[in-house]
């Protein structure tokens, strides 16, 4: 029992030390399509308008995050706000979270409408695509208060305005981003000297129409120029 306890405590100490070493120094890394990506060189450049570009270079490809300001918080990628985007380049492939047509990923309610009841798989109309169905929650006054994607359809684009059928057909939502182009960048610390945060994205190559996914991304104490 004592031997087991000793090995257990040793493992905890080793893991803690390993994390401490990793994050005592600037770092820019993540998982790209399940494989570890870690920048061997990186930079963060602030523009005159207040936006910031974080670049990481590695043999496994280059990652670039563009953010509209250094304010703390989360930016959604793949939306009509093209000031916020991510890209990944490898050889001749250039993946980006730009505007493209695909199945719906994220939506935002813009008008609650009237005459609705809480329902699932509700039909929709409008936008450039087809086949999108949603689950809705309505209050006692028949106003939609929540909407979630159930069937994502296809060929929609960020910015599409979609109407929820049933009720009085006057509840609407906006497509924020799509399956082939989405993600988030969160700034957790900025002191005017370095910047830290986390990110994830799905980006597409317009030529090959292939996608790449990045998860668990971290940028830590990157010096800002």
Residue 79 falls within a domain, yes or no?
A: yes
Structural domain range at position 59: 26-100+180-223
Token code pair at residue 36: 């570890």
Helix (H) or strand (E) holding 8, with range, is: helix 2-22
Q: Are 108 and 163 found together in one domain? A: yes
Cα–Cα distances in angstroms (integers) from residue 88 to residues 106, 203, 221, in the given order: 21, 8, 21
Sign of CA pseudo-dihedral 33, 34, 40, 44: positive
- On the question of pLDDT at 5 being above 70, the answer is no
Q: Which residue has the higher pLDDT, 18 or 118?
A: 118
Task: Determine the pLDDT at residue 204.
Answer: 97
Closest CA to 61 of 94, 34, 85, 96: 94
CB-side exposure of 75: number of CA atoms within 13 Å?
A: 27
pTM summary value: 0.85
- Kindly state whether residues 121 and 215 are assigned to the same domain: no
Q: What does the pLDDT read at residue 72?
A: 98
14, 8 in Cβ contact below 8 A? no
Mean pLDDT of 22-33: 86
pLDDT tens by residue, 37-93: 999 999 999 999 999 999 999 999 999 999 999 999 999 999 999 999 999 999 999
**Domain contains 13:** no
**In total, how many domains does the chain have?**
2
Looking at the structure, tell me whether residues 95 and 199 fall in a common domain: yes
Cα 118 to Cα 107: distance, rounded to the nearest angstrom = 18
Name which residue leads in pLDDT, 148 or 7. Answer: 148
Residue 11 placed within a domain: no
Tell which phi-psi region holds residue 78, choosing left (phi > 0), alpha (psi between -120 and 50) or beta: left
pLDDT at 160 over 90: yes
Q: Which pair of tokens denotes residue 123?
A: 């039909």
Single out the residue of 223, 176, 220, 225 nearest to residue 198, CA to CA. 220
Q: Do 165 and 186 share a domain, yes or no? A: no
Q: How confident is the model at residue 186 (pLDDT cuts 50, 70, 90)?
A: very high
Q: What is the mean pLDDT of the chain?
A: 91
> Do 168 and 108 share a structural domain?
yes
- 173 and 63 share a domain? no
Q: Comparing 1-15, 67-81, 202-216, which segment has the lowest mean pLDDT?
A: 1-15
When computed from its CA atoms, the radius of gyration of the chain, rounded to whole angstroms, is: 22
Q: Do residues 160 and 203 share a domain? A: no
Q: Is 164 within a domain?
A: yes
Dump strand ranges (E) for the chain. 27-32, 35-38, 41-46, 52-57, 62-67, 73-77, 85-90, 93-96, 104-111, 119-125, 130-138, 144-154, 161-164, 171-178, 182-190, 194-205, 210-223
């Amino acid at each position: 029992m004592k031997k087991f306890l000793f090995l257990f405590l040793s493992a905890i100490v080793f893991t803690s030390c390993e994390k401490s070493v990793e994050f005592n120094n600037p770092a820019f890394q993540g998982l790209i399509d399940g494989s570890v990506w870690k920048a061997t060189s990186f930079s963060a450049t602030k523009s005159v308008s207040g936006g910031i570009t974080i670049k990481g270079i590695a043999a496994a490809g280059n990652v670039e995050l563009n953010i509209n300001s250094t304010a703390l918080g989360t930016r959604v990628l793949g939306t009509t706000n093209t000031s916020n985007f991510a890209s990944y380049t490898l050889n001749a492939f250039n993946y980006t979270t730009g505007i493209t047509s695909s199945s719906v990923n994220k939506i935002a309610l813009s008008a609650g409408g009237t005459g609705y009841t809480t329902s699932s798989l509700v039909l929709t109309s409008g936008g450039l695509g087809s086949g999108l169905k949603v689950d809705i929650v309505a209050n006692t006054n028949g106003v939609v208060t929540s909407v979630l994607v159930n069937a994502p359809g296809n060929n929609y684009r960020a910015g599409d305005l979609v109407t929820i059928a049933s009720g009085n057909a006057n509840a609407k939502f906006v497509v924020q981003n799509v399956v082939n182009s989405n993600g988030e960048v969160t700034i957790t610390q900025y002191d005017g000297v370095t910047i830290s945060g986390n990110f994830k994205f799905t980006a597409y190559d317009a030529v090959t129409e292939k996608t790449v996914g990045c998860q668990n991304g971290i940028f830590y104490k990157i010096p800002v120029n």
